[in-house]
Structures are given as structure tokens and as C-alpha cells.
Amino acid sequence: MRCRVPTLLCALLVCSVVFGAVPAAGQQQTDGTHLEVQLEADGDAAWNVTTRIPIADGHERETFETFASDFEAGESGFDLGTDTFEQAATEASEASGREMSIASVRRESRIVNDTGADGETERYGVLRLSFTWESFARVGEERAIYVDDAFNTTDGTWLPGLGASQSLTIRAPPGYGGPTTSPVGAEDGDLHWEGPATFEPGYFSIVYHPVSTGPTEEEGEGSELPTALVGGAILLSLAALSLGVYLLVARRRGETATEDDEQPVAAGPDASEPSAPGTPPPGEKAGGDADGSAASAVEKADDEPDFELLSDEEQVEYLLEQSGGRMKQATIVKETGWSNAKVSQLLSSMADEDRVDKLRIGRENLISLPGEGVGDIESDTDDS
């Protein structure tokens, strides 16, 4: 069966047909047509067919604007090769046995004023046809992309070449390197042809491979690296999860670990914030001895209990002892690292057992050891 696709070289130069094959007064001709093919990982290809038309004066501008309006509207005769590409896809489908189609057709036009280095301004009109050629490339094993049979028909090829003012660029799919097989050398991963050029049937044989795997004869060894990386990531995730569970359980049990064993300096009995757990007490007994010296505190440091081995209630009592017998509930939350709900429930239980006293002051609770005296606490609160 003969190829029914018109020669694309003529179809792409539709402007020459519209404005006249031979330039005459008031007529325009194309300054160049460029075909750009952006391959996608799924085998589709985004096509852009751009034609540039010089504009020398106001009359040519009016002529271009009239033509551009009809072009964007998609009127018959002003499709810049859409019918040709649709027919090419149909012919390629029959020859390859793969279903192909043209979709998402868009037409754009604009006028560009380009000022060169010499200060001269060049004005030209631009017509752009954009569409998606579905299943343009074949996707093989290991996600390899093959560009070949989409150019074939049952009677040769629908793209026999490029004219003197035409060019073609094929860009690699995202995530793929330059082609491992191609009829010309690649530039930054892209293939480019400038007319005049001739393409024989079967000329286009292009293969791309994903950057992550790469086309090698030692396919098994090439795939070990990604597998090892994935395995390592899984192990790290499991280790992080285990650590998170341990810290959560430890916090619920009141087992707060101080990073790098750093312990802050204990505050005095009149300070608004209590001393950190594990620091020497300022006095010799509960309630704090304001006259206790630093030397006596150091001497008794070895007798202090291991804070992490104390029960939740004992930790609270220890903190109160270190802060002079009383402290704010919010400070207990901060020092222990427990949640507000846990501290509130624990203090309520301790108050029921007469192990602590709670006094509501504004929006805060003041917690004290039994024997501190409500009057003393209220007086201290007023002074603050």
C-alpha cells in the first residue's frame, strides 16, 4: 500500500503556500520552521512545530495578523500540518501494529521585536503548533525508550528529510541520559538536525535508558546498586522507628535521658525556676536550707539518688525539694519532659494522697510539699 502522507516538508511550509510560492509585493514567506520533540517516560512525545515569518512593514504585519487569527481558529487550510501529523500517526500505527494518535492540539501566534547587538530591530511573526503524539516511542525492558517505528509507514517514511530552512530536535525523556544508540551525536543529551537533510527509511533508530540503571551488558550487577540503596534506606527507617518507640516508652515511664550527660547548675531556693534533676541540693534536707554552703552540697552529691530510677511521684518530690519545696506546675512539665495531661493527672493523684498541695493562682497551679503552708505560698506569690 502506498503511503498516503503528503510530504511533510511542503506541509510545514504552509505559510509559503498561503502567501504565495513566489514572493511578490505585499506577500510574506517563512524564515524557518523548527520541529521539537520532547520525549516522555511513558512513550508519549510533546511536539512543537514553530514557523517564523519576517515582517518588514505595517502592511505585512496586518497580513500576518489576519493569517494568525485564522490559524489559531484552526480554519481549513491554516492548520500548519495538523492533518499531516494525524495521517502520519495513522500510517505509523498500521506499519508498527501499535496504536498511536494525536491529542491536545494547541495553536499560538505572536509578534516578536528582536533588537540585535547593532541596535537594529527585527520584527517577525511566530506561529506555533503544539500537540501530544501518544505512544510515539516504545517502552521496553528496564524502562528503555525506543524511537524508531513511529517514523515508518508501509511504504517507507513520512519524514524523508528537512528543507534548507528547517530543523529537528529530539530531547531525552526526563530522568534519562543521552541516547545510547542514535544516527548522530548528541549535544547535552539532545539530538539535532539542520536542513537540508535526507532521511532514508529506518534512519531513526534511537535508544534511551534511565539514568538510575543504565544500559550495560552486566545488567544484574547494575541493578544491585539501587537495590542496596533501597535496602539501606529501609534499615535506617526501621532503626529510626525503633528509637522513636523507645523514647516514647521512656517518656511515658518518666525516664528522660539528658543528651551527652549535660546537667545544668542548680538554682537557689528563691529562684523562680527549679534546679535540673541530678544536681547537688542547695541544703541538707527537704524544704532547702538557705544557709547551706556550696561545700556541703558537693560533699553530699555522692549521696543523691539516681533520678532516672525514681518513680514518677518521687521525681516530682525530688524536684520540689530542689526548688525549696514549691514550684509551678508548668515548670514541672518542662523539667520532666512529660505531657501536660500526665503531669496534671499525676499531681491530682499525689494531692489526693497528701503528698503535695495544689494552689490555683490565676491560670497557673502552684505545687508545694506538705508543710509549706498556704499562707506562706500566697505571700510568696503576692511578692512575685
- Among 208, 242, 267, identify where a domain stops: 208
Domain match, 31 and 163 both: yes
Model pLDDT, residue 71: 83
Domain match, 14 and 157 both: yes
Domain match, 94 and 173 both: yes
- Among 208, 235, 269, identify where a domain stops: 208
pTM for this entry:
0.51
Amino acid in the structure at residue 345: Q
219 lies in a domain? no
- Copy the grid coordinates of residue 249: 516508652
246 lies in a domain? no
Question: CA of 236: how far to CAs of 230, 233, 253, in Å?
Answer: 10, 5, 26
240 lies in a domain? no
CATH number at residue 374: 1.10.10.10
Model pLDDT, residue 364: 87
Model pLDDT, residue 66: 87
Domain match, 263 and 204 both: no
Count the domains in the chain: 2
Instruction: Classify residue 27 by its DSSP letter.
Output: -
- What's the CA angle centered on 293, arms 287 and 298, to 5 degrees? 95
Question: CA of 143: how far to CAs of 40, 146, 151, in Å?
Answer: 11, 10, 21
Model pLDDT, residue 73: 82
Domain match, 59 and 158 both: yes
Model pLDDT, residue 70: 83
Q: Are 307 and 315 in contact (CB under 8 A)?
A: yes
CA distance 96 to 100: 10
Model pLDDT, residue 212: 66
Model pLDDT, residue 244: 63
Domain match, 267 and 177 both: no
What are the two backbone dihedrals, phi and then psi, of residue 105, each rounded to the nearest 5 degrees?
-75, 135
CA distance 25 to 60: 10
Domain match, 154 and 267 both: no
Model pLDDT, residue 283: 46
Domain match, 40 and 163 both: yes
230 lies in a domain? no
Domain match, 199 and 312 both: no
Question: CA of 59: how far to CAs of 26, 31, 64, 170, 265, in Å?
Answer: 7, 18, 9, 36, 88
User: Residues 88-108: pLDDT tens digits?
Assistant: 899 999 999 999 999 999 999
Which of 359, 275, 279, 355 shows the shortest CA–CA distance to 312? 355
3 lies in a domain? no
Model pLDDT, residue 197: 92
- Among 170, 188, 208, identify where a domain stops: 208
Model pLDDT, residue 189: 85
254 lies in a domain? no
| Ramachandran bin of 288, using left for φ above 0, alpha for ψ from -120 to 50, beta for the remaining angles | left
Structural domain including 367 reads 259-383
222 lies in a domain? no
249 lies in a domain? no
Domain match, 196 and 278 both: no
Q: What residue ranges of the chain have pLDDT lower than 70?
A: 1-31, 75-81, 212-305, 373-384
Q: Are 105 and 131 in contact (CB under 8 A)?
A: yes
Domain match, 266 and 130 both: no
Domain match, 200 and 272 both: no
